[in-house]
Structure 1
Amino acid sequence: MDIKPINAAQNYAAARPATEPNAGQGDVGGAAKGLARDFAATLQDAEVTAKAAMSGEADPHALVQALAQTELAVETAVTVRDKVVEAYQEILRMPV
């Protein structure tokens, strides 16, 4: 196998953009806002489906599916909250 320095440099230059951070992905606040909006929308959809099921306008399958999605969303939110609290407590334990 013949590896020349110029080929190695060209291959490195071609692969370099794949390892650089993307400027659009650094917006943590916007991502968190979008997740909160999605979470609220999931809860609202489940509430609408539950009200429709109580009045007989929705089938039980749709209600069960909406409740399962809501349960998953709440469990995910609780897990994220626990991780954030754990990270905060770890920061508090750090020596200054």
Structure 2
Amino acid sequence: MFTPITSAAASAYDRARVTIAPQPGHSAAAVTPATGPLTSGDRFMQALEAVDSTATGALKGSVAVPQLVQTVAEAELALETVVAIRDKVVEAYQEILRMPV
């Protein structure tokens, strides 16, 4: 059975997470719906942030394990999508490099 981690460990994780957070203006997540449409990069960052907050909630015992599993699965799908897009971009770039000048 899943047992929650002590509140000291969870609060230490919360303090560390703030320390390593990207600075405003240095991330695609700085774009808000008021300033522009959400890009796929924004949605990817939101999926990662959802996993982070859900995992923290699971550590504290305030989030059920099935919710954590669902959030992790959604983030895994988002990561696989980003990797597939990156692979296609690299493949297209390599194809351009192979073109005769």
Same fold (TM over 0.5): yes
Distance of 2:72 and 2:93 partners within structure 1: 31
Q: Give identity over the alignment, percent.
A: 50
**Given the alignment of the two structures, is residue 67 of structure 1 paired with residue 72 of structure 2, yes or no?**
yes
Runs (4 or more) in structure 1 with deviation over 4 Å come to none
| Alignment map for 1:3-18 (pairs within 5 Å) | none
- How many residues end up aligned between the 2 structures? 66
- Listed as ranges, the gaps of 5+ residues in structure 1 are 1-29
Residue type of the partner of 2:77? L
**What is the correspondence of 1:23-42 to structure 2 with a 5 Å cutoff?**
34-42=39-47
CA distance in 2: counterparts of 1:79 and 1:59, whole angstroms: 31
| Alignment RMSD | 1.5
- C-alpha displacement of 1:62: 0.4
Q: Which has the bigger relative contact order, CA under 8 A and spacing at least 6?
A: 2
CA distance in 2 between counterparts of 1:40 and 1:49 reads 14
1:34 to partner: Cα distance: 1.0
Larger Rg: 1
Query: Which structure 2 segments of 5+ residues have no match?
Result: 1-35
